[in-house]
Amino acid sequence: MKVSQKIAAAAVSAAIVVGGTTAAFAAGDGSGSTGKADKIAVLCEHKDEIVPTLTQRQTELTKRIAVLTELDTKATTAGRTKVAARLEQRIAKLQGRLDKVSTRLEKAPAWIAANCPAA
């Protein structure tokens, strides 16, 4: 995956969860509401790309976890406890990312339906 694709995927994923924090900032003087509307408009322009991007990211994370789990098994079998511990930390970190992506993927269709006009 290219760096630009990773950045785009992160931006789309982050923008999906921005709603609550943007509302908190907009409550101050009302000037933040146009910023939120602009972000929603941009996301709606790319609504067809959100679910495939999240699905691709989910697949890549799953593959990486499988590879690291295999390496962890080999390291544990070979008695390399420090290597196995590092691999387990990496697996745990990736599992956390996978959980976040999966949650975003579950919420994305409902968010799109609620915020983007059907065209």
Q: Look at the block and give the residue holding tokens 């609620």.
A: 114
Helices marked H in the chain: 3-16, 19-29, 33-45, 47-77, 81-115
Spell out the domain ranges in the chain: 3-115
Q: What percent of the chain has pLDDT over 70?
A: 71
| 112 neighbors 47 (Cβ within 8 angstroms) | yes
Q: What is the pLDDT of residues 68-119, one digit of tens each?
A: 999 999 999 999 999 999 999 999 999 999 999 999 999 999 988 888 887 5
**Which pTM value belongs to this model?**
0.65
Q: What is the pLDDT of residues 66-75, one digit of tens each?
A: 999 999 999 9
* Length, in residues, of the chain: 119
Q: What would the two tokens of residue 30 be?
A: 């009302």
